[in-house]
Structure 1
């Protein structure tokens, strides 16, 4: 039977929309600390607060967005969230004090949380069912590219120009995202196709996605140590120049592996991909903890890219597969709510821990956290999947 096409206009439109969203996010993530310290004369505590407020707003908005996109419709919520994101980007031109910037970051975080939840739910509807692992893997690759290009573009602009050009770039990127969002043809059967129960806390989460989302949150906690402290660790090792290439190597290995891992997921099942990916992630953290040269430092980026870069789209695919088709929006928001919570808690807790243990010991411990995430995944989902597979094979005619 002929495979259904994956690289359609709609798939490309929503993937590139996501790329521009995440590129704007990463441009500001890497340059706003400098803006606070240099232009607003703030301190490191305020830098951490600016990052935390954005993430808290995104986490708060996701469960509500998951409920709304299944009830109100994907297109309406997508366009509304993209407009909130774009208006927030424009308002940075007038954010000239810490209180104003904090309020703006909260609004921007709401737009980001809503928009990324909506795009995640839409792409799950667009990709063919039998190619969902492959499709979501390629979709995640666009986010990985933004993670490399965004910081590079932002830091280059800051080096040669003013922050006005940073804010101009982010505004342009966000309005391009709106234009691309208009071209996405969202399947009509998913538009407002389900009514969730009356508002309760449980109505904001898809219970079938929670086990996998818990595993993702634990692994995200471990990954937050890289997101938050890799440049500080590199400076400690006198490898600061290598730090700028860490995510380049990381993304390069994700891109090289993506054509294979997504297909393996669809062909052999989630466990055959997720177990090795988590082990690779733990191994990469272990290598990073022992880094004493540029080669070892960048080698850890390659191994982590192969592992963690495969984990996120794979677990997201499982979360969506566990949910009723009409509740994919809620499943997506449930997954990313716990995922973002893991990163947020990790950034705060690991910062305190690093002061006491040092970064080498911290990354060694995080390798253990990753393996703990493997155990949790096995207990909450993997074991049940294996049991189903054994029963299915037993029912086959001899």
Structure 2
């Protein structure tokens, strides 16, 4: 009985992980190909190509605060089915778009569904994973995104070399439609009814975010800024430094190291606690960015990818797990939404601000700046842990004093 209750790889966990994988296959496939589509098919500029990426993230950020309350009111299963249906259905409208304005409107709508869907999928994953194995379970779940981050761009950039954009968009639409089938198979644990009734009495900030998760979510924002330096600029960095021939291998090495390290780091999180994972991960991530800033050869480039993958791989699931644990099981939707609000803001802000740093200085300054930022984050996290520890001691002493 106990073995079953602590099992991670259940049918529901596998299906919700597949939903996450398929959705992010679509996200990363379009992330890398739509800018090319804008320039080649719609006659747009590079700036306009970047806007089709940014507008979707902005829509997702707008939707995050609403998502938590929507999920708890409508129900996670219903939100999951509507979310996958809208996200998949919107894909087919890309076949009808023939103008930049039309594409921007469609991307905004797609971003709204993406914001709700990714929030509810992560919340359900947190519910189906046993409490005592949250770190390991959500670490495995995050691997779906990591693998999609490699497969998506590779699939997209390969397909557009052999087929037209219209055929390509149709193929991707069919692939994403599979997420609806996987979502249908998921059984969501019913654990939130009482809490929903209590929180629906009147509107408050708790209807939008989980306030207990705010300290960790705020810290994750700055990690998102540093992470955006890889997502948004690694390909440009490679081209600038004559490494375009090995650029496609960066995320392969990055993901392989991340996947290999994830199981042991997830177990370490569950057994020893978050600080034993997050503190060394921030140091390794920072070191990898410093190494990248001085990269001048293919082997250094790929070694930096491995170090960065090792350091950054467990940060997102670790911070997300901490947010969910802070909110409690009945608030997993709000806690997940709170985490992603700050994470998305970090990615979106970093993608813009770091571009200004590159324009004013160079990539070396960019990556050293991000490395320093991560060390500042390390200090912030240690302060948060110290404050949380003191607060916990006070709570433990209260019953004793009352006796």
Taking structure 2 as the reference length, the TM-score comes to: 0.94
Name the residue aligned to 2:279. 275
1:108-257 to 2 correspondence within 5 Å? Answer: 108-190=110-192, 193-195=195-197, 196-197=199-200, 198-257=202-261
Aligned partners of 1:192, 1:294: CA distance in 2, in Å?
Answer: 56
User: How far does the alpha carbon of each residue in 1:6-47 deviate from its partner, in whole angstroms, 9 at most, with x for none?
Assistant: 100000000011000000000000000100000000001211
Match of 1:78 among 72, 77, 80: 80
Corresponding residue number in structure 2 for 1:291: 295
Number of aligned pairs?
393
| Equivalent-residue separation in structure 2 for 1:254 and 1:165 (angstroms) | 33
Please tell me whether the aligned partners of residues 74 and 190 of structure 1 are also in contact (alpha carbons under 8 angstroms): no
Q: 1:43 matched to which residue of 2?
A: 45
Query: What is the aligned counterpart of 2:359 among 355, 358, 361?
Result: 355
Measure how far apart 1:188 and its partner are: 1.9
Unaligned runs of 5+ in 1: none
Name the CA distance, whole Å, in 1 between partners of 2:70 and 2:50.
31
* Cα distance in 2, alignment partners of residues 190 and 392 from structure 1: 25
SS, match of residue 131 in structure 1:
helix
Q: Secondary structure at the match of 1:189?
A: coil
Residue matched to 2:268: 264
SS at match of 2:245: helix
Give the superposition deviation at 1:384.
Answer: 3.2
1:365 to 365, 369, 376: 369
Q: In the alignment, what sits opposite 1:338?
A: 342
Query: C-alpha offsets along residues 57-114 of structure 1, whole Å, 9 cap, x if unaligned?
Result: 0011111111111122101111111111011111000111011100000011011111
Partner of 1:68: 70
Residue matched to 1:58: 60
Q: Supply the RMSD in Å over aligned alpha carbons.
A: 1.8
CA contact (8 A) 1:73 1:191 kept: no
In structure 2, the residue corresponding to 1:188 is in which secondary structure?
coil
Quick one: distance in 2 between partners of 1:85 and 1:110? 9
- 2:387 alignment counterpart: 384
Q: How much has 1:262 moved relative to structure 2?
A: 0.5
Residues 72 and 192, structure 1, Cα contact 8 Å, conserved in 2: no
Contact 2:37 2:165 survives alignment (8 Å): yes
Cα deviations by residue, 1:200-234 (Å, 9 ceiling, x for unpaired): 45531110111010111100001111111111111
In the alignment, the residues of structure 2 paired with residue 127 and residue 307 of structure 1 have an alpha-carbon distance, to the nearest angstrom, of: 24
Tell me the equivalent position of 1:20. 22
Structure 2: gaps (5+ residues): 398-403
Q: How far apart are the structure 1 equivalents of 2:396 and 2:208?
A: 36
Q: Tell me how far apart the structure 2 counterparts of residues 128 and 354 of structure 1 sit (CA, whole Å).
A: 44
1:50 Cα offset (Å):
1.0
Distance across 2 between alignment mates of 1:209 and 1:165: 43
Q: Which moved more, 1:2-11 or 1:216-225?
A: 2-11
Which piece of structure 1 moves more, 365-374 or 129-138?
365-374
Q: Secondary structure at the match of 1:240?
A: coil
- Once residues 282 and 113 of structure 1 are traced to their aligned partners in structure 2, the CA distance between those partners, rounded to angstroms, is 29
Match of 1:194, SS?
A: helix
- Per the TM alignment, residue 387 of structure 1 is displaced from its structure 2 partner at its CA by 4.4
1:358-388 CA-to-partner distances (Å, cap 9, x unmatched) read 01111011100111111222223x2135547
Aligned counterpart, 1:310:
314
